[in-house]
């Protein structure tokens, strides 16, 4: 039996408190230091970097990881990884539970589909370049883990949680020493790429007088955005935010039961199955939302229980906590021999993601190319929240179609992206075969993405218009 004054009672609370204090400190620094305010670096990233600096200095002096001290329960480093793992899924579940009354036209549906295909195509491009780089390094450095580059699309394209998931798999099952920290560092470099690349692009647009950046103070929410008609009251017999947390917990509990059952059926795939917690979470949350909507339509349930405003706040909290915990969990001493490779991966990933998405936005989303590019570049180097941060700089009220594309692209992205995730476990065994498959997938995704351009041009070549003589 534990005493209330024992560290094992207070360790987890102290850890979470430190994460949140770091967020508050980072927010204060961003508000008071000019270059940080203009940098667009997410507060959660800055908070994580602050903790990373403190923990690195402590480790250099005390020769022991800061978060593994008794004050944090003796195993705080592992707790940071657990927080990162769960916050990823909980954030996606909260986002997926949000309702939408939008009815899309055929053109808008096509744009959402193209956004999802662009997401997967960028994953594949990052995967090809990342794996190609580390295969070259493995030839030069004999003991280097050749499949490490596959972590580039997980760190950049999917963020901290998935970078940790697959870094952990590579470390525990394939002997990649420092795999967790390697993946988390790639994700941290992705956030920096989003911030630096986003600022550069915004400054270019401002110099060309193509945009007017929306001042932060002018962003206001209407009462309808906070509470829609027919919803339960904010302060009823059970607080409204408690209801939202309840539905998120219900969805995640179902996710765990599904993963537990699949793990029993496929014990050899258990690590992969549990790595898909966020993906299964999206599907389960969508099903829960469908059931609630069905019960509302049949008048079995009279009031609307989910609230988009609160679900957005909860998802943002989860993603903020995920990012700050993920960066704080990095162990720099474990990746001291990988810095050159990490910097090359980070730079190549940033440039490839920037120019590819810029080309796609200008080609397929001409009427709102700037908004689409900033949203996609932010999301595909950080998280969805990073994409929103960049988008808000030129679309403060999120009125452009890019914001809807961000939300609804998840479904086509999941369909086409799922096989790529499975390839991540093939890479350590067959890295060259994986590279070929990734490259082939990238070509196929681009044929699908630019289908209207490719096949229109082909048709024009085969069936030229009749000449006056022929008529």
Give the list of residues 6+ apart from residue 271 with CB closer than 8 angstroms, or none.
169, 172, 173
The Cα-based distances of 203 to 199, 200, 416 in angstroms read 6, 5, 34
**In this predicted structure, what is the pLDDT of residue 299?**
85
Over residues 58-68, the pLDDT tens digits come to 999 998 899 99
Over residues 281-335, the pLDDT tens digits come to 988 999 999 999 999 898 898 888 899 889 989 988 998 998 899 899 888 888 8
- Phi, psi (rounded to 5 degrees) for 439: -65, -40
In the chain, where the domains are located: 7-214+231-454
Reported pTM: 0.81
Structure tokens at 471: 């008529």
Compute the distance between CA of residue 150 and CA of residue 431 in angstroms, rounded to an integer. 9
User: Which residue's structure tokens are 């048709």?
Assistant: 459
Is the pLDDT score of 459 beyond 60? no
Give the list of residues 6+ apart from residue 36 with CB closer than 8 angstroms, or none.
29, 30, 46
Residue 235 DSSP code: B
Over residues 390-425, the pLDDT tens digits come to 887 787 666 788 888 887 787 788 788 878 778 888
Is the pLDDT score of 469 beyond 60? no
Is the pLDDT score of 101 beyond 70? no
How is 363-419 classified by DSSP, letter by letter?
A: HH-GGGHHHHHHHHHHHTTS-HHHHHHHHHTT-TT--SHHHHHHHHTHHHHHHHHHH
**In this predicted structure, what is the pLDDT of residue 471?**
44
**In this predicted structure, what is the pLDDT of residue 333?**
85
**In this predicted structure, what is the pLDDT of residue 32?**
93
Q: How many CB atoms lie within 10 A of CB 38?
A: 12
Is the pLDDT score of 366 beyond 70? yes
For residues 185 and 328, the answer to whether their CB atoms sit within 8 Å is: no
Q: Is 332 exposed, middle or buried (0-12, 13-18, 19+ CB in 10 A)?
A: middle
Radius of gyration of the chain from its Cα atoms, rounded to whole angstroms? 23
**In this predicted structure, what is the pLDDT of residue 224?**
60
Is the pLDDT score of 155 beyond 50? yes
Is the pLDDT score of 35 beyond 90? no
Q: How many helices (DSSP H) and strands (DSSP E) are in the chain?
A: 20, 0
**In this predicted structure, what is the pLDDT of residue 165?**
87
Compute the distance between CA of residue 391 and CA of residue 211 in angstroms, rounded to an integer. 12
Compute the distance between CA of residue 92 and CA of residue 406 in angstroms, rounded to an integer. 13
**In this predicted structure, what is the pLDDT of residue 148?**
95
Q: Which residue from 50, 342, 339, 85 is spatially nearest to 193, judged by alpha carbons?
A: 342
For residues 307 and 221, the answer to whether their CB atoms sit within 8 Å is: no
Give the list of residues 6+ apart from residue 281 with CB closer than 8 angstroms, or none.
89, 90, 92, 93, 96, 251, 252, 255
Over residues 172-198, the pLDDT tens digits come to 999 999 999 999 999 999 988 988 898
Mean pLDDT for the chain overall: 87
Is the pLDDT score of 225 beyond 80? no
**In this predicted structure, what is the pLDDT of residue 466?**
60
**In this predicted structure, what is the pLDDT of residue 103?**
64
Over residues 158-178, the pLDDT tens digits come to 888 888 889 999 999 999 999
How much of the chain, in percent, has pLDDT values that exceed 90? Answer: 51
Beta bridge partners of 239: 235
Strongest mean pLDDT among 94-108, 278-292, 320-334, 432-446: 432-446
Give the residue, 365 or 214, on which the prediction is more confident: 365
**In this predicted structure, what is the pLDDT of residue 99?**
82
**In this predicted structure, what is the pLDDT of residue 226?**
75
Is the pLDDT score of 211 beyond 80? no
Q: What mean pLDDT comes out for the span 137-150?
A: 93
**In this predicted structure, what is the pLDDT of residue 265?**
94
Is the pLDDT score of 221 beyond 70? no
CA 126 to chain centre: 14
398: left (phi over 0), alpha (psi -120 to 50) or beta: left
Q: Which residue from 290, 248, 226 is spatially nearest to 90, judged by alpha carbons?
A: 248
């Amino acid at each position: 039996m534990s005493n209330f004054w024992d560290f094992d009672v207070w360790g987890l609370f102290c850890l979470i408190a430190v994460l949140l204090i770091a967020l508050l400190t980072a927010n204060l620094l961003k508000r008071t230091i000019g270059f940080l305010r203009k940098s667009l670096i997410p507060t959660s990233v800055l908070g994580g970097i602050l903790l990373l600096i403190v923990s690195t200095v402590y480790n250099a002096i005390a020769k022991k990881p800061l978060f593994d001290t008794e004050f944090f329960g003796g195993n705080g480093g592992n707790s940071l990884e657990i927080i990162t793992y769960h916050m990823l899924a909980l954030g996606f579940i909260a986002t997926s539970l949000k309702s939408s009354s939008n009815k899309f036209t055929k053109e808008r549906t096509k744009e959402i589909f193209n956004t999802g295909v662009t997401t997967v195509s960028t994953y594949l491009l990052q995967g090809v370049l990342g794996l190609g780089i580390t295969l070259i390094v493995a030839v030069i450095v004999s003991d280097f883990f050749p499949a490490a580059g596959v972590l580039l699309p997980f760190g950049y394209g999917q963020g901290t949680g998935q970078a940790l998931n697959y870094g952990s798999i590579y470390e525990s099952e394939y002997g990649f020493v420092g795999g967790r920290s390697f993946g988390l560092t790639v994700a941290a470099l992705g956030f920096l790429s989003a911030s630096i690349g986003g600022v550069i692009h915004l400054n270019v647009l401002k110099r060309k007088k193509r945009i007017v950046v929306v001042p932060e103070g002018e962003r206001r929410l209407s009462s309808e955005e906070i509470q829609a008609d027919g919803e339960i009251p904010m302060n009823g017999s059970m607080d409204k935010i408690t209801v939202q947390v309840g539905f998120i917990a219900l969805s995640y509990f179902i996710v765990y039961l599904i993963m537990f059952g699949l793990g029993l059926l496929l014990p050899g795939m258990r690590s992969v199955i549990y790595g898909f917690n966020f993906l299964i979470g999206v599907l389960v949350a969508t099903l829960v939302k469908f059931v609630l909507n069905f019960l509302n339509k049949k008048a079995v349930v009279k009031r609307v229980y989910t609230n988009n405003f609160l679900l957005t706040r909860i998802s943002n909290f989860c993603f903020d906590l995920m990012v700050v915990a993920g960066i704080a969990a990095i162990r720099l001493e474990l990746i001291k021999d990988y810095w050159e490779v990490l910097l090359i991966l980070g730079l190549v990933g940033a440039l490839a993601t920037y120019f590819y998405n810029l080309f796609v936005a200008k080609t397929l989303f001409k009427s709102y190319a700037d908004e689409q590019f900033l949203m996609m570049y932010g999301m595909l180097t950080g998280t969805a929240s990073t994409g929103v941060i960049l988008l808000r700089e030129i679309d403060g009220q999120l009125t452009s179609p890019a914001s809807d594309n961000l939300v609804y692209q998840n479904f086509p992205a999941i369909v086409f992206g799922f096989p790529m995730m499975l390839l991540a476990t093939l890479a350590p065994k067959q890295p060259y075969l994986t590279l070929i498959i990734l490259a082939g997938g990238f070509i196929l995704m681009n044929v699908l993405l630019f289908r209207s351009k490719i096949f229109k041009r082909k048709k024009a070549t085969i069936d030229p218009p009749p000449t006056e003589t022929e008529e």
